[in-house]
Structure 1
Amino acid sequence: MARRLRSVKLDFAESAPVRLVFTAHVSAGPAAVYRALAEEVSDTPAWFSSVASARPLDGGAGREIRLRGGVFFRETIMAREPGERYAYRIDETNTPGVRALLEEWRLTPAGSGTTVRWTMASEGPALFRLMMRAAGPGVGQSFKGAMRKLDRRLSGAPAA
């Protein structure tokens, strides 16, 4: 059953009770990484294996994401800064316990590539917070795998 989450602002990425932050290096430049994140939304499952489907909504003002296992999110895009930042707030989900959720992707030039920093900021009751922290290592591994696949995709290398 879908539930509406609390509406949060961009600063929630820094102030949320639970913040999972992951970084990885991608060989492509920030513009190409941004394009993959923000403009080629429907292609996300090709490089982020946790995502079963992704589609833009409302002319690109929002997204609908379905994860493997049945979790879904309806999101509102909060920041579009090409080559620098992409962020969205989750407005509706079937995930139990969560009260607020915002994800932010920061892109920083690094040599000939990009450092990608993904922040998952959330709020919920004590059990939810505990579960999110416990899930952190697995979410981090999923992110790192996604960045490896995105790196290969953007470089034109064959998928492993």
Structure 2
Amino acid sequence: LKVSAVSNGLFIPSENKVVDNENIHLLKLNPRLGDILMSRANTADLVGDVCIVERDYYNLYLPDKLWVVEAKSSELNLWVFHLLRYLKFRGVFSSLASGTSGSMKNISQKKFLDIDVVEPTNFHSIGGMLQNAYNTTNNIYATNGHVNRIYRKLLDESLSF
């Protein structure tokens, strides 16, 4: 996978590249259903971007620049995902990221694990509500994209000369 496979909270499995035969033995970890993937290296704005994998991908492999984030328990996964998506929390990643290149910043595992987070007592309801809002937003974006494609097709068909 490329780092761009994690983009704006979505997993984009088509963002991948072919691995040379001589390096196939280095591949170890596949993205799996329910995995929270996080970009540990990207631009200052995109470092720390996360997504949830929606099915198993046995033909894809994670690069070292994408991490699988695991909560203390599976019940916390939704809450952790939305916490990591929260813009103010994402600002923490940008401030912790280092690197001399203006285009690529990195977060070390130590800095990431040193972030202090208080677990809420009602994480089930918070995670569920946030997930419903997230799903609704994604459905709106998908519908909007579909409507835009239909609109462009109608324009092409009706305005062709």
Structures share a fold, TM > 0.5?
A: no
Larger relative helix fraction: 2
Where relative contact order (Cα < 8 A, 6+ residues apart) is larger, the structure is 1
Normalised by the size of structure 1, how large is the TM-score?
0.26
Normalised by the size of structure 2, how large is the TM-score?
0.26
Larger relative strand fraction: 1
Max Rg structure:
2
